[in-house]
Every structure is written in C-alpha cells, then in structure tokens.
Structure 1
Amino acid sequence: MAFSKMWATPKRRRAEPEEQHVFRSEWTQRYLVVERDDGEGAECLVCRRPIVATRERDVRRHYEAEHEHYEVYSAGGERAALVERLRRGDAMSAVAMTREERAARAGLGVAHLLALHGRHWAEARLVRRCLESVLRETLPDHCRVLDEVDLSPESMAKKTLGLARNLQGQLMARGPTFQAYSLAFDDQGFVGTEGRLMVFVRGVDQDYDVDEELLTVVNLHGGPHVGHVEQVLNEALARSGLAWDKLVGVASTGSSWISDPHGGLVQVLQDRASEARGAVGGHTPLPHCAGLLHMQLMGSRELDVGGVVDVVAGWLALLRTRGTRSIGLKMLIEDAEQSHGGDVNLLCLGSWLRRTKALKRVFHLRRDLEVFLTESGKPRSSDMRDLLQDPDWLCDLSFLVDMQTHLAEVANELRLPGTFAFTIMDHICAFSDKLQMLRTHLSEGDLTFFPSSRELCEQLDEQGHTGREVLASHRYQEALARLHGKLQRNFEDLCAVKRDLDMFADPFSFPVENAPQHIQEELIRMKSSSTLLSEYREETLGSFYAGLPPGCYTELQAVTYRAASLFDSSCLSDKAYSYLLQHQARLTHLTSEEHLHALLRIATSNFEPRLDDLVRYRSRSLA
C-alpha cells in the first residue's frame, strides 16, 4: 500500500482542537480569578499571579494547587463575600495561616524554584542572603522573618522529595478517572543519566481533560531487561490506579529492544493489555508509534550519509581545548556549553549538532574552521582540513544542513501540545510527500529547497568543480528513501486506528458505512441532530464530546476516549531531554536515585505542587 494512500485524510479536517482562551465570568466565584484589564488571561484574586493560558483546566489547576482550602466557603453568600474581600486585597483575613506555616510554605517555594532551574540545594543560602540584603534596605523590621525559614541544603533536599511526592499524589488521584491512557518510552541516552528509561503517561477523563505526566523512571544499568521493566511498570501503574485494560497505545524512540516483535517491550505490553481486555475489549493490538520521540535525532542519523556530525563534533571538541581567534567559532562553542550546562564532550556535541541550527552555522563558518585546523598543529589536522576542501564531503555537509531544516519543521509541528493524535497523521503524511518531492527535485538538479547546497554549488562552479551532479547521485536518493521507508514502518500501526481517529476528528463528515456496526446507529443519530452539529462547530473538540447527553452515545464515546488518549506529540520528552542536558553537571553529582527521579518529575510535571497540603501535612506530623 502506498504511503500517501495509507495516510489519506477525510475531506474535512477540524482545526487544531486547542481550547479557546476566553474568560468566563462564573470562574470568579468558582476559582477566585478575574479577567485581566488587558484581556490577556486571568489574574488570581488570592496571590495576584497572572494565568496567561486562560483555559478552564489551567485556571482550575492553579486554584486546586494553591488555594483549594478556600472550599470551606462553599455557600453562595459566603463565597460572594469571600470574593469581595479578595477584591479589596484582604486575602489573609479569609483563611489565615500561622507564622510557622507561612515560613514552611516559603521554604517549599524556594525548593521548587531550585529544582525547576537545576540549581544545587546549597544555593538556597545565596537566596537567603539576597533576600536579607533586600529586606535590610527596604523593610529592616522584617529581616528576622528569614530566621524562621529553613533554607539549609538538608532541608531543601527533603522538601524536593516532598514536592515530587505531592505531584505524584496528584497523578495517583487523577489516574482512576482516566477512561483510557497511553504510554511513551524514552530511552534516549543523556550525558550523566545514561541507562535509564523514562516512562510518560497520557490519560483522558470523562470531560476529555488530558493529562501528560512522568509515570516512572526505570534504571537500565547492566542493559535493558524487558522482564525488569515490565515489573517496575506494573508497580507504577498499580500505584497510579491505572488498569491494564485501559491501555490503548504506546509511543517510543523506536529502540530495537522496545520494538522487537519477538519479545520486545511493546509485544509484552500488547499481551498484557489483550489479556486484561479479554472479556470486554477483544484482542486488538496496541498501536505503536516508534520514533515519535526525538524524531529529529532519528531523521538526522538516517540522512548523515558521510558521517558528517561525528567529524564536525571532533573539530568542535578540538576547538574547545585549543581556543581560537575567530569570534564566530568562539560564539559557537559558548552556545554549545550553555546548552549543556558547561560540560561538553563528543556525545554532547553530536546531539547538539543534530537537534539545532548549529550545523548550519558550522557550514557558514567552514572557512574559519579551515584556518583553525591549519594553525592547530595537530598531526591529524591536515586530514581534517582536506575534508573541508573535498567537494564530495562538502556536498554531504550541505545536504545534511538542508535536510535538518526540513526535519526541524516537522519536529516543531509534532512538538506542539494541546492537540490530538490525528494531527500526527497529517504532519507525517505531509512530510512523507515532501520527501518524495525532494527526491524528484534532487534527481533533476533542482536545488530550490536546498539553499545551502545551492550556495555550495555556486562556489564549486567558480572553482571548476561539479556539485549538482554529486547531489543528484544515488547516495542522497537512497538516504531519502531510507528515511521515507522508516517513517512508513514506524507509523504504520496508526493505520489500525485510522478509522477511529478520523471519526473522532470529524464525526459529521465520517461515512456511517465505514464505522463499526455497533456505532453506526449512534453516528446516524448524531448526524441528524442540528443542535449537536451547531455545538460541534462552536465548541472545542473535547468540550463537544464532553457535552454529549449522558448515556446516549456510550459506544461512540468509548472510541473517542481511546483516540484522545493516544500520544500526540514529543513535547514532554523534549522537555525532559532539555532539562537533563542543561543541568547534567548538577544531576551527575546526585547521591540518590530518588532525588534524580524527584527532580525529573518536578521539571516535567504539568501539575503545580500543592504547597498548602504539604504545609498542613508537616503541621500534623509535628503535632
């Protein structure tokens, strides 16, 4: 089956199903927020913090995380009076905290900030000195308040664990409400944290609110063992109240031990899910999106026909140790160090060159590199310099630079949160067609979509060399064909649920005869309702399905829950990847695996820690 046919989309595709950022007046009493004067989001009446993304779930999460204790004012009159006091700025008279509780809350806030920014716990002392300096000049009578806030490194370490447990507790509370969920496995090697598997979960509840969180981290030291991973995963799912029969899909980096059809991790999960669903859900295999996570890295490796990245990484490593007078090269190395927390080696540089625009900058600085290699005096420098004068190798470099630009475009599209899995199909289908177009252009010598290669060919023509013929050769055609084939293999499992995704995306345009028989009657009933059609056009996709009359479309909603819970992006794994690379120096010196897991949970979580719950738990434990 042709790839383009495989990914054919329905005639009408609903726009991105991101919730509309429109403030609702009823939120003021429900969540204690008001609309900002500039109309850009909401403002909390209690802490006066802005909430930029004004979706109800964002407003509700802030309220539940920070101010849920105001639920004691539940009666209508009490609630209205509370709102009026908060409007006047009288927040403390509503629910007063003791002096000790406020100090404990402040310490937790500092620990949370240190964790988010990858800073050492000892830096809390610097925070204290900064605060003391400010208070001494502005509010000298309040300097003694800092003596009540414990900011010692030992206290910060304990608070970090407490924050992580609080976030995990929120996931445990949400887990049983999920109607369906999917898992994502990221075993990408990170400097300082190699040999670990991060497992993310994406679940959807009956209101079609979607949560994506870190489920657990599995230690793979000694090599990945599927049995061990399954055991740890089973314990994590049980802790979070997630049943195996609600698992509907898997995303991964596409590693062989995960994707192996004979005993790989995905195969084991498929067997467990099928066994759990046996009596109620049949034995439909779990769809597996291999390569969804870190797709730009995978694509870059497939297209690196001349081993370009390893060679350039070696140059930059030499450049970092020898130094250079070139401003451009100095800035290049500074950017690499900044992106990796100052600890840069070949693995760091290779990953950095594959994920950013850095390789393009190397291409434009190749003359400076040639000068540097000439002056370095290293025995192998002449061989390195010869590559920069080799037309074939330069074509390899320019080809990879141009293709990385195209890969970055599709990676950015797959990185957008707040969408659903059917958008993956659109983006991958478009990129697949684009690869075919690029192959045709290259074979014809048309470099319209290869600006770096076009620039190089113009220079080679002036020097009497040929460039277009090299770029039109079979080696680049084969590289594009390999990537096209890998995309087809990695995402072919979505074909098994394509019908469900299309029906979920646009039920009113979906042909009834293409739907499963047990859903056809509900689909006909929905299509005949002008009221539901109007709501579908006006509401977001999740809001539309959540607002269906209870008990009327149960079979259809079961399908849409599964479609909504499939992983839609690599946003969460990229967030973890960036955190690990930028703070690797800090993470490699951690003495506890528990603290590493805690920092990863805090850095990636979409929940806000409920500081008041932590403070009250501490107060009860000391009582």
Structure 2
Amino acid sequence: MQQMKKSLSKQQVVFHGYKKETELVTKLSFKIAEAIAENGKPYSDGEFIKNCVEIFIENVSPEEKNLVEQISLSRFTVARRIDDLSENIEVSLKDRMSKLSAFSIALDESTDLSDTAQLVVFIRGVTDNFEVTEEFSDMASMQSTKTGQNICEEVTKLMNNFEIDSSKFVGITTDGAPSMVGKNNEFVKRFLDVIETENVFVSHCIIHQESLCSKVLGFGEVMKSVVSTECEAARTRSVSAQDDRTYFLISSKTTTFSSFHFPSLESRKVQIQLFNCKKYVRTIEKLTLAFETRFEDFKKHKADVQLFAHPFDLVVENTRPSFQLEIIELQASVDLKRAYRENDLLTFYRSHVYGNYTNLENHARRMISLFGSTYCCEQFFSKMKLFETKCRNQLTDEHLSSQLRVATSSVKADIGKISGSRRYQTSHYSPTQ
C-alpha cells in the first residue's frame, strides 16, 4: 500500500509539472500574439518570431529548447489567439459600460484598401464616481449604400451588443456628412427616434468645423507654408499673431489707435505705419462670420456649458430652478472656490463636488461624457491603414476588427484567464502556413 501511495504521489508531481509547462506554453503563445496585434504585424510573423527565439535559446539556454519548440505560433493559431484576446477585452468593456451613468458616441467612416466604407464607433462614458472611459466599441463594413438607415441599423446593433441603457445616452458627435446629419431621414434623426431619449447633444466635430472655416479665406498655399514651419517658431510668434489680428480689428473701427497695450506691435511701430492693415479687415470679418455660422449649434448649449465650466460666475436667478439651491451653497463655500481654481474640472467634480450636490453632479457627468471631436476615429483610421496594407489585402473585416481592438484598447486582456481555459495545443508548423 505504501508503495502504491509513493507511486501515485510521483505521478501527481509529473502531472502537475506537465500541466504547469503546458499552461506556460499557451500563455507565451498568447503574449506573442498580443505583441503581433499591437504592432500591426502579419499573423505569419509568429513563426519568424519563434525561429528567432529558438536561435536565442540554443545559444543561451539549450535546456529550454524543448519548451520553445512546443509554442504554437502558426498564422492560424495567431489569428485565433488575437480573436480570443479581442473577445476577452470586449467582455471587460461590456462590464465597464454597464457601470456608466452617462455616455456619448463619436462615429465616422472611411474607405479601406478594398474601397469598402468602414464605420467606426467610439464610446465615451462616466461612472457614478467620475471615472472616465473612452474606447473603440466596434467597426462595421458598409457593403451596401451608406444611407442614414444603414448607419442607424449598425449603431443600434452595437448598442444592443453592449447592452447599454439608452436612457443614459447624452450625445452624438459626427463628421457632419449629409448621411449623418441630414434633416429628414439621415442617421441622427433616425437614431434619436429609435432610442427615444430626450435632451441629446448633437454636434459636428470641432476640428472639421475649424477646417471648413479656414477655407473661406482662400489662403490654401499660405496655410501649407505656415503648417510646415517649426512648431517652436509658431509658438514664439503666437502672441505677435494675436496682436496683429486684434490690431486689424481695432484699427478698422477707430481712426485713432495706440499700440501701447500691444508690445510686439510697439517694437515694430515703424513697419506697421507703412503697412496697410485695413485691406485684411474684410478677410478677418469673413472668417469671424464663418465661425459664428458654423458653431451656431453650440449656442443652444451655452447655458449647459456655463453651468458645468463656470459655476461660480453664474447669476443664480438666471439658472434653472433645480440648480439654484446647490449653486447658492456652492458659491458660498470658500474651500470649493479654492479647489475650483487649483484643479481641472474633472478633479474638481470628482474630489470636491461628488456626494454633496446631486443635480450638479449629474449635469457634470453628462458634460464630461461628451466628445468634442471625432479625432479618436481619425486616429483609428490612421492605424487601420497601417495594419491593412497591400500585402495583407486578404485580411477579413472580423480579424481586422479584433487586431485593432487589441492594439487600441486601454483595457488589457486577461491572458492568464484565457490561457487557463484554452485546450493545450502543440506546435504544428507547416511550410505552407
């Protein structure tokens, strides 16, 4: 009996050692696949990486060669690993989304190498304790026509996939394309009809708006030259440029003007006297009008922005009744005034307002959840074009989406959990892979 116990004990030791080794091999396979995804490398690079590791091990630690040989890194395995990583991240994101108190979306579309329109949606949300999440949620290939109805269907499908409560929906930011913001049957109108949520902020990307405003000047070649100059030089000239713009405007309104309050102009007083500034006044006024027209929608939300960003400057009587008592109490606090001056808005609301002013907190969460632009989408498209090259034109939309999720998400996949739940698979290298 004693002999049988010893034999069983030895078998258990061998079994546990084998299990530990196989789990390590699987974990290494996932980690290398993750690195491939994050750097946008082809799946077939897995075998190349394995060969490099084998060369290293042979010369540094030959006794570990067998372990390296067991790591499965064929292109098919790498593809599955990245899909598993993406799925794990998506599950984590769903958990995060379920805790949001307010959220908004930003969406844009771009054409890939196969001339297929790819719709990308990002979600930005705020939890009850002011933790901010901004993540790529999903992408969809618009194989058919890019109408508001198609876009609405894809975004609705995404919302259902993440099981997000539409009553917490705050805002939509788009690139301003007709299919997005048309007045009749385009995306925004259709989507708002679907979710049936009131008081939704609808905005056109600020960066796009500014770009469109600049075009009214007709200074295309000049702007190219300005952009190509050194950033440091641009920063040092920023004050002077502001002085010049102000001088143009003021000089157009008065016949007597002193440059006393504009030091950079004062230093060039002789040059300015010989320079006819008035001919540029009309151009600047045209630019001002373009900004006022393009950003007309933001005026609708001026009161909401003021309430969030400048609560100590408000006239209590001019605010909504539901906020008045909290504003009075807030403005009476010397400590809160100091905290407001010394911190950014997110820190101020998270550390000093949270837990004491219910209505102001809820309003702040809504404002913090908003996107100012679709820059995150543009950045995503830049990375997508780096990943989807002419040499990888067979990459499916599903694999591309998985690889981009792993590469762009701030949420890391739980490789330990994934590798522990996956069946061990030894290397099965074939030259055709």
TM range (shorter): 0.7 to 0.9
Aligned equivalent of 1:530: 334
Gapped runs of 5+ residues in structure 2?
1-18, 253-274, 426-433
| Alpha-carbon offset, residue 158 of structure 1 | 0.6
Aligned equivalent of 1:563: 367
| Alpha-carbon offset, residue 228 of structure 1 | 2.6
Aligned equivalent of 1:16: none
From 480, 484, 491, the equivalent of 2:295 is 491
- Is 1:234 aligned with 2:156? yes
- Is 1:575 aligned with 2:379? yes
Aligned equivalent of 1:358: none
| Alpha-carbon offset, residue 547 of structure 1 | 3.7
**1:439-466 Cα distance to aligned partner (Å, 9 max, x none):** 979x9xxxxxxxxxxxxxxxxxxxxxxx
From 30, 43, 48, the equivalent of 1:108 is 30
| Alpha-carbon offset, residue 606 of structure 1 | 2.0
Aligned equivalent of 1:147: 69
4+ residue segments displaced more than 6 Å: 433-441, 480-483
From 218, 221, 225, the equivalent of 1:398 is 221
Secondary structure in 1 aligned to 2:206?
A: coil
CA RMSD of superposed structures (Å): 3.7
Question: If you compute each CA radius of gyration, which structure gives the higher value, 1 or 2?
Answer: 2
Q: TM-score, normalised by structure 2?
A: 0.75
Q: Work out whether residues 289 and 491 of structure 1, in 8 Å CA contact, stay in contact via their aligned partners in 2.
A: no
Q: Work out whether residues 251 and 293 of structure 1, in 8 Å CA contact, stay in contact via their aligned partners in 2.
A: no
Kindly provide the amino acid, as one letter, of the partner of residue 106 in structure 2. A
Looking at structure 1, the residues matched to 379 and 47 of structure 2 have their Cα atoms a distance apart, in angstroms, of 28
**1:99-152 Cα distance to aligned partner (Å, 9 max, x none):** 222222211121122112221100111111111122222222222221222111
Looking at structure 2, the residues matched to 192 and 436 of structure 1 have their Cα atoms a distance apart, in angstroms, of 46
**1:538-581 Cα distance to aligned partner (Å, 9 max, x none):** 55533332345776411111111111000135442232122123
Number of residues paired by the alignment? 376
| Closer, same or farther: CA 113–582 of 1 in aligned 2, 3 Å | same
Aligned equivalent of 1:292: 206
Looking at structure 2, the residues matched to 435 and 405 of structure 1 have their Cα atoms a distance apart, in angstroms, of 21
- Is 1:180 aligned with 2:180? no
| Alpha-carbon offset, residue 493 of structure 1 | 2.5
Gapped runs of 5+ residues in structure 1?
1-96, 277-282, 306-395, 413-429, 444-467
| Closer, same or farther: CA 576–482 of 1 in aligned 2, 3 Å | farther
Q: TM-score, normalised by structure 1?
A: 0.53
Kindly provide the amino acid, as one letter, of the partner of residue 593 in structure 1. D
Q: Work out whether residues 175 and 374 of structure 2, in 8 Å CA contact, stay in contact via their aligned partners in 1.
A: no
Farther-moved stretch of structure 1 (522-531 vs 148-157): 522-531
Looking at structure 2, the residues matched to 304 and 127 of structure 1 have their Cα atoms a distance apart, in angstroms, of 53
- Is 1:505 aligned with 2:309? yes
Kindly provide the amino acid, as one letter, of the partner of residue 43 in structure 2. W
Looking at structure 1, the residues matched to 94 and 371 of structure 2 have their Cα atoms a distance apart, in angstroms, of 19
- Is 1:98 aligned with 2:20? yes
Secondary structure in 2 aligned to 1:289?
A: strand
| Closer, same or farther: CA 224–503 of 1 in aligned 2, 3 Å | same
| Closer, same or farther: CA 506–598 of 1 in aligned 2, 3 Å | same
From 399, 409, 424, the equivalent of 1:605 is 409
Kindly provide the amino acid, as one letter, of the partner of residue 399 in structure 1. V
Kindly provide the amino acid, as one letter, of the partner of residue 348 in structure 2. F
Identity %: 22
| Closer, same or farther: CA 110–520 of 1 in aligned 2, 3 Å | same
Farther-moved stretch of structure 1 (166-175 vs 522-531): 522-531
| Closer, same or farther: CA 405–186 of 1 in aligned 2, 3 Å | farther
| Alpha-carbon offset, residue 402 of structure 1 | 3.9
Kindly provide the amino acid, as one letter, of the partner of residue 303 in structure 2. R
Looking at structure 2, the residues matched to 213 and 269 of structure 1 have their Cα atoms a distance apart, in angstroms, of 20
Aligned equivalent of 1:164: 86
